[in-house]
Amino acid sequence: MTTTIIGVTLENRVETAVEFQKLITKFGCEIRTRIGLHPSREDICLNRGIVLLEVNGEAELLKEELSKQWEIQTMEFEL
């Protein structure tokens, strides 16, 4: 079984979060894990971040849809 990790860069989390969430909801059965990372300190929370998606099985359509609007990077693993 192939597991794909997709890293998605979100430059403006506040403005793109709703649109991003709608898109990944369409692929809810294929996405096993979602982790959001954003730089923050005690006194500041920046408006950019990275979302990591663990995708089981076929990830090509999801990668295609994500790359239309966001910068992505992928890694594939055989488990």
CA–CA distance from 59 to each of 23, 31, 76 (Å)?
A: 14, 9, 10
Architecture of domain 2-78: 2-Layer Sandwich (3.30)
For residue 44, the model assigns a pLDDT of 80
Q: Where are the domains of the chain?
A: 2-78
For residue 66, the model assigns a pLDDT of 95
- pTM, two decimal places: 0.87
Q: Please answer whether residues 10 and 20 qualify as being in contact, where contact means their C-beta atoms are separated by less than 8 angstroms.
A: yes
Q: What digits encode the pLDDT tens for the residues 7-64?
A: 999 988 888 889 999 999 999 999 999 999 887 777 887 888 899 999 987 799 999 9
Calpha distance 36→53 (Å, rounded): 9
